[in-house]
Amino acid sequence: MRVLMVASEAVPFAKTGGLADVAGALPGALERLGCDVTLVMPAYRDVFTKGLPIEETGLSFEVPLGARRATARILRGRLPGSDVTPFFIANDACFDRPTLYGGAEDYADNAERFIFFARAALEFAGRQDRPFDILHCHDWQAGLVPAYQKLAYRAWPMLSQARAVMTIHNMAYQGLFWHWDMLLTGFDWKYFNWQQMEFFGQLSFLKTGLVFADAISTVSPTYAKEIQHAPGGCGLEGVLAARSDALVGIVNGIDTTVWNPAVDRHIPRGYGPDTVAEGKDAARIALAARLGHAAPDPRPLVALVGRLVEQKGIDLVIEMLGRMAGGGRAHFVILGTGSADTEDALRHAAAAYPGTIDVVIGFDEEFAHLVFAAADIALVPSRYEPCGLTQLYALRYGTIPVVRATGGLVDTVVDATPETLASGRASGFVFEAFDSLALEHALDRALLAHADRTLWSGLVRHVMDQDWSWDASAREYVRLFERVRAAPPVAVS
Ligand code: ADP
Ligand code: GLC
């Protein structure tokens, strides 16, 4: 089965969040199951700063972009640990920029950049020598691909038999642009209606993808249910409910070659379930040094790594820290970047409790590995969470997650109760209400459990033995691809 994977970011080349982790690992996992995967992403400036080999292919072509044409130059790289060849679409005006999507404000021309990207991805695929079976499109940045395939490239032999699968990583980011951007797409205005491309007067890239795709997936079964209702669907719940037959939830895996405490290059001492105490001790010495402490803190270490935005429930953490940090029962380490207000509030909390709260503002992949290795407990108190990867990394590193019962967190963490502990299924501490007291209560339970050495080491061993690799999830994608390939394409008019 030949798969074109269209994603706006992928590790190790460019990353702002979990989509990059998925797009960097899923192609290799699909290849191991016999798929032939071609990954296509933009050639951002970041791509060239990683010291990875990126070479010219010699292929370039013109892509229609409204009334003009823009040149796409195709570059080629290597996806470490797999036989997948990633291709990069270069156009310096579009992608040679300091960040992927903009800063505090999105780039004003993001519609144009990702219209170009979607078309260029198809024009590239259309110039290959073997036809594609599946176009696997991720998030709004690839949202126009299913529509272009059906409305503009249907006659191209390499694309004509393909089915488009749209994968949603986050309903809150929809790619909404003013209606005049329709002119840049080249689509007929007749598609700008409430059932297809229009969303409250704007052009919606994600809605377009959901309507024109032959199948839709999202990154956990619980999120697949949540998005068919308000508020989870972020206004598109009706569109998703109408296509519920075409919608599945497949939980993300993790790249166990990158996230493996036994061989992790970013931690001082590799460890497994039998050597977790030694491994964590070494990591804590390194972490203390990195944070400027003379010695590691003997108290339980509670960590949070993530984007410091509304979705992640950082407001709950800030409220909780205000009450808990003075009690001195734990040491907190927070690594993230996000809104200026949240960053300031966290810096303020750290200044109020030196030696108890450490806040590191920045995006630091290597440091994230050290934090997961050093910590005892990881917080993921999200308002909503399509899948969530940090709880999976935590589990792999023997770090017990405290999570809110939402989206993929429901599907990946089993609350520790007397029953689940007795049956050996418990893997973390789960709270329901989006409320800082509920978070505090769950963290209290975790700290109490941490004090019981036998209970805690049993929990740690269990979570480290779990298999969150891509194998099972990639198989589900293959089944989805097979199903959609066997069915007729979605009808468009
Ligand atoms: P989302 O995609 O919503 O941000 P995920 O949990 O799926 O959430 O993925 C987040 C990814 O980004 C994880 O790999 C996490 O470790 C990483 N990450 C987030 N913020 C940072 C940061 N400041 N430094 C390093 N890694 C980060
Ligand atoms: C999104 C979601 C996150 C998910 C990631 C990868 O960014 O917010 O929950 O894990 O995509 O699918």
Tell me the domains of the chain and their CATH numbers.
Answer: 2-253+472-486 (3.40.50.2000), 276-467 (3.40.50.2000)
Amino acid at 234: C
Q: Give per-residue pLDDT as tens, 222-250.
A: 999 999 999 999 999 999 999 999 999 99
Decide if 239 contacts 213 (C-beta within 8 A): no
Distance of alpha carbon 171 from alpha carbon 236, whole angstroms: 8
Phi, psi angles (nearest 5°) of residue 177: -135, 165
- Site to probe by mutation for ligand 2, drawn from 389, 392, 468, 476 as the one with most ligand atoms within 8 Å of Cβ, is 389
Res. 21: pLDDT tops 90: yes
Measure the CA–CA gap between 121 and 143, rounded to whole angstroms: 12
pLDDT tens across 197-229, in order?
Answer: 999 999 999 999 999 999 999 999 999 999 999
> Quick check: 94 and 42 in contact, CB under 8 A?
yes
**Separation of CA 335 and ligand 1 centre (Å):** 10
State the distance from the centre of ligand 1 to the C-alpha of 457, rounded, in angstroms: 27
CA 431 / ligand 1 centre spacing (Å): 21
User: How many other CB atoms are there within 10 angstroms of residue 412's CB atom?
Assistant: 25
pLDDT of residue 410: 98
Asked whether 41 and 74 are in contact (CB, 8 A), the reply is: no
Confidence category of residue 446, pLDDT binned at 50, 70, 90: very high
Ligand 2 near 387 CB (within 6 A): yes
Nearest CA to ligand 1 atom 22: 363
Looking at ligand 1, which atom is closest to the CA of residue 16?
12
Q: Which residue owns the Cα nearest ligand 1 atom 19? A: 306
Is residue 115 scored above 90 in pLDDT?
A: yes
pLDDT of residue 368: 98
For ligand 2, is residue 288 a contact (CB within 6 Å)? no
Mean pLDDT, rounded, of the chain:
97
Task: State the pLDDT at residue 185.
Answer: 98
Is the pTM value of this prediction over 0.95?
yes
Which tens digit of pLDDT belongs to each residue from 301-320?
999 999 999 999 999 999 99
Confidence of residue 74 (pLDDT cuts 50, 70, 90): very high
In the chain, % of residues over pLDDT 90: 97
Please report the atom of ligand 1 found closest to the CA of residue 336.
23
Ligand 2 centre distance from Cα of residue 227 (Å): 14
What is d(CA 199, CA 332) in angstroms, rounded to the nearest whole number?
42
Residues 6 or more apart whose CB falls under 8 angstroms from that of 375 comprise 301, 302, 303, 333, 394, 397, 399
Pocket test of ligand 2: the residue of 169, 234, 380 to mutate, having most ligand atoms within 8 Å of its CB, is 169
Mention every residue, 6+ apart, whose C-beta is less than 8 A from residue 308: 314, 336, 337, 338, 339, 342, 343, 346
CA of 370 to the centre of ligand 1 (A): 14
pLDDT in tens, 410-439: 999 999 999 999 999 999 999 999 999 999
Q: How far apart are CA 121 and CA 156, in angstroms?
A: 13
Q: Residue with the nearest Cα to atom 14 of ligand 1?
A: 18
Ligand nearest to the CA of 380: 1
User: To which residue do tokens 């960053």 refer?
Assistant: 343
pLDDT score at 81: 85
Across the beta sheet with 301-308, the strand order is 357-361, 331-338, 301-308, 377-380, 400-404, 429-431
Mean of pLDDT values over 318-334? 94
Judged against a pLDDT cut of 90, whether residue 80 lies above it is answered with no
What are the distances in angstroms from CA 342 to CA 339, 368, 374, 381?
Answer: 5, 19, 24, 15
Minimum-distance ligand 1 atom for the alpha carbon of 391: 6
Q: How far is the C-alpha of 192 from the C-alpha of 190, rounded, in Å?
A: 5
Cβ neighbors of 246 (< 8 A, separation 6 or more) are 213, 214, 215, 216, 490
Question: Is 90 exceeded by the pLDDT of residue 493?
Answer: no
Distance 200 CA to ligand 2 centre (A): 25
